[in-house]
Structure 1
Amino acid sequence: MLPTDWIPHRRPDDREHVGWIRPAGDDWVALNLLGHELTGPVDWLAAEEALDASSLAWLAEVWMLEREDADPLRVRLVEVTPDGVVVQTDDFGAIDVPVERYALPWPPPPALRPQRPGDPDGRVLHGR
């Protein structure tokens, strides 16, 4: 659930919602759409500048979903709202590949993370 003291921020040029600004004592903290901090405590203008400078391209990147007793699963973000996050297995752009969807709370748990070097890339079979 979205905290009531978080203030939505929209980029001035296209009015796209890019995150929130929350109070931190006498300062402010910029947060992205996943509720992750983009800045530490800064003044209001610095928080706005951090959000205005952030691209939404990261939403289209590959993410990994950590699983117990299995390799991380390569996923894509499908929906991100304060009501929840939906990810699905990466279909590599194919329209006929079956996918699995996973509903996660918002903000998402640390098990959902950006892809890192060494993560399975989906093109290499294990043991080959």
Structure 2
Amino acid sequence: MDQDWIEHRRGMDGELLGWMSPTEEGFIVIDLLGRPRTDVVDWLTAEEALESMGIGYLADPYELRLDSGEWLRVRITEISTDKITVKKDDWGALGAPQLNYSLAFPATDELRALR
């Protein structure tokens, strides 16, 4: 996480929605995965973008590129500015082996939304 990033929290419960990265021309919206989500926008537009984005995208299925080059369907289980943890999507099967992967923050292109 860049030290210049400005946190934006949801007003009703204080949930962190992401950050605004200042530039000379305005701000770039950064999501909770540490990825830029807008071009340069003004402060109000950045806040609106973070509010409309919310955090629901974290519950979506993702794909993780393994060292073999194959893509594995995963779910995000934990996010912090230190690391991102994902696990193999087991569709909630009880007793399924837990395969967890620890990724660097911000996320790289090894993690992508399931297409």
**TM-score interval, smaller chain:** over 0.9
- Which residue in 1 is equivalent to 2:84? 85
- Which residue in 2 is equivalent to 1:123? none
**How many residues are matched?**
115
Give, in angstroms, the shift of residue 36 of structure 1: 1.1
2:35–2:107 CA contact under 8 A, matched in 1: no
Q: Partners in 1 of 2:54 and 2:104 — Cα distance? A: 23
2:5–2:19 CA contact under 8 A, matched in 1: yes
- Which residue in 2 is equivalent to 1:57? 56
- Which residue in 1 is equivalent to 2:107? 108
- Which residue in 1 is equivalent to 2:9? 10
Write the letter of the residue equivalent to 1:56. I
Higher-Rg structure is: 1
Scaled by the length of structure 1, what TM-score is found?
0.84
Give, in angstroms, the shift of residue 88 of structure 1: 0.7
- Which residue in 1 is equivalent to 2:24? 25
Q: Partners in 1 of 2:8 and 2:75 — Cα distance? A: 24
- Which residue in 1 is equivalent to 2:71? 72
Write the letter of the residue equivalent to 1:38. R
Runs of 4+ deviating beyond 6 Å: none
SS at match of 1:79: strand
Deviates more, 1:55-64 or 1:67-76: 67-76
Q: Partners in 2 of 1:62 and 1:41 — Cα distance? A: 28
